[in-house]
Amino acid sequence: MAERLIYLPLGGAGEIGMNAYVYGYGQPGRERLIVVDLGVTFGDMDSAPGIDLIMADVAWLEANRDRIDAIFITHGHEDHVGALGLLWPKLQKPVHCRRFTGALARLKLEEAGQPVDQIHIHAPRPDVVTAGPFRVQFVPVSHSIPESSALIIDTPAGRIVHTGDFKLDGTPVVGEAFDPILWHEIANEGQGVKVLTCDSTNVFSPHPGRSEAVLANPLLDFVMAQRQLVVATTFASNIARLKTLAEAGIAAGRKICLLGRAMRRMVTVAVETGILTSFPPVISPEEASELPRDKVMLIVTGSQGERRAASAQLSRGRYLGIQLKDGDSFLFSSRTIPGNERGVIRIMNALSEMGVDLYDADDGLYHVSGHANRPDIEAVHDLLKPQIVIPMHGEHMHLREHAKLAEARGIHAMVATNGTMLDLSGEAPRVVDQIDTGRLYLDGTVLIGAMDGVVRDRIRMALNGHAMVSVIIDEDDTPLPDAWVELSGLPEQGRAGVPLARNIESELAEFLERADDRTVMDDDRLEEGIRKITRQVSMEEIGKKPEVTVVISRLAAE
């Protein structure tokens, strides 16, 4: 059978988050595989209450583990590397990345108690990593974290460029600038680019993206204009932004204090890996709290409203000896990711109550995106002249829009969401399989399947409340008449003006008294009767039907 080149997204295609992509080459069903990125996404109360992290279900990879040659990580954002420690035990393959990303990947493996010697650090192109039939090069791209890389994946069927997350930034402040000559080279080597697998995040943003460097002056002006304490928040991993913010603070005659574990860790890693050579000196929270307010600038975690991050802590009162007050200024040097609005607004209002003046990036002065906008994506299509474009890193609407963009330029394109396996060997992509995929949830310390029912039950309890009924059947197989009902998350009292639990109990007592032997002797039948009455009485009394758990205890004859 002829060999073929396949593409299979397991995460990140049809959503923004938990990236996990697979490429394969070989005879159908026997392709050698590489994995690109193993990221997480975060749960919310609407869809995954109590869940700590969400990641792609890699059951298919696990079942084909002997075919995997390597794992590549494009950059150190959580949605690209966050699941590495948790999923590595299922794959147990070498991990390839560049130095800064490697330091973060190493932390992930360490936290999960996995062997860190599995991480292999590589220099960027022209260095080549060989993994089975694949020859892979890391190509520096600009993004909102240092050392982001696109991957050139050379295969016997042609060249793939997998962009990872990127923007076109000629002056990225920290890290490597966009290099059009390099990309021109990549496009024109050998047979050129067969497949461009490309970031779609900002495909709806109509204007060309802006450089990180444009923020320096507005941020300096901003800090200069403030009279009391200045606080700025951004993503901890945006080292360039941290640097720009810190330099603005220093230039305005302030000392810099970093708050938030993630931020201090990122700066440490950036210094240790040589990414960051000239970060201004920082002071401790204790030192900060002793200086005059107009001599300090805090740079803090929590730009997305995270409840435990520094910005949320500061919004709730004194934190590490620092208390915000009337006349202080708080800048969100960030964009709120859709879905995080409630958390961010909560913090803003709490700060407002303290008299803190709020500033956001809505007018574009204090934040630029890390992703390529629509014209930038078009520029990359033109630059790389791929035969096929596969949009990735986007919700369905982003992927679809991106595919339309490519098709308008006469390029073959296809929307392939998680689980869709494409054959890329031919002129145009072709769907060849649909893999059962899904999501894994980290719940406490346990990985569970999204469809296991755990989360479904939590959501039901949250929406409907929970009634627990305990019934005892005595040694003679006669139900004791006093069923016990405990309610959780339900109003104590309904229409009748007596406690709902007592009301249900008395209906149950009647039911148990009347119940025939066939019902009493059959757990399922008895449970069904009890559940029905509990829900019926609740509906009449309070207008809703709770989840019901029935415990039947049968006393053994002595």
Interface contacts to a copy of itself, rule CB under 8 A: 14, 44-46, 49-50, 338-339, 341-342, 345, 348-349, 351-353, 355, 358, 395-397, 400, 443-446, 448, 452, 454-455, 457-459, 461-466, 468, 470, 472, 480, 484, 486, 488-495, 542-544, 547, 549, 551, 553, 555
Least gap, CB of 202 to a copy of itself (angstroms): 13
Give the DSSP letter of residue 548: E
Question: At which residue do the structure tokens 């229409």 appear?
Answer: 495
| Strands in 32-116 per DSSP E | 32-36, 40-41, 53-56, 68-72, 95-97
Least gap, CB of 229 to a copy of itself (angstroms): 18
Give the DSSP letter of residue 15: B
- 264 or 400: CB nearest a copy of itself: 400
C-alpha triplet 177, 182, 188: angle, nearest 5°: 155
- 198 or 216: CB nearest a copy of itself: 198
Residue 115: its H or E element: none
- Contacts for 446 with CB less than 8 Å, ≥ 6 apart: none
Judge if the upstream peptide bond of residue 126 is cis by omega within 30 degrees of 0. yes
- 458 or 525: CB nearest a copy of itself: 458
- Radius of gyration of the CA atoms of the chain, in A: 28
- 287 or 540: CB nearest a copy of itself: 540
- 177 or 552: CB nearest a copy of itself: 552
C-alpha triplet 189, 100, 223: angle, nearest 5°: 110
Residues facing 26 on adjacent strands = 4
Least gap, CB of 546 to a copy of itself (angstroms): 10
Residues facing 442 on adjacent strands = 53, 447
Least gap, CB of 47 to a copy of itself (angstroms): 8
Least gap, CB of 158 to a copy of itself (angstroms): 29
- 295 or 460: CB nearest a copy of itself: 460
Least gap, CB of 443 to a copy of itself (angstroms): 6
Output phi, psi for 132, to 5 deg: 55, -130
Residue 256: its H or E element: strand 255-259
C-alpha triplet 112, 47, 466: angle, nearest 5°: 105
- 26 or 209: CB nearest a copy of itself: 209
- 55 or 68: CB nearest a copy of itself: 55
Neighbours of 307 (CB within 10 A): 11
Least gap, CB of 415 to a copy of itself (angstroms): 9
Give the DSSP letter of residue 499: B
Starting at the earlier edge strand, list the strands of the sheet with 412-413. 129-131, 134-140, 149-155, 158-162, 193-199, 388-392, 412-413
Least gap, CB of 388 to a copy of itself (angstroms): 20
- 14 or 172: CB nearest a copy of itself: 14
- 2 or 556: CB nearest a copy of itself: 556
Least gap, CB of 134 to a copy of itself (angstroms): 31
Least gap, CB of 234 to a copy of itself (angstroms): 20
- What span, in angstroms and rounded, lies between the C-alpha atoms of 529 and 521? 13
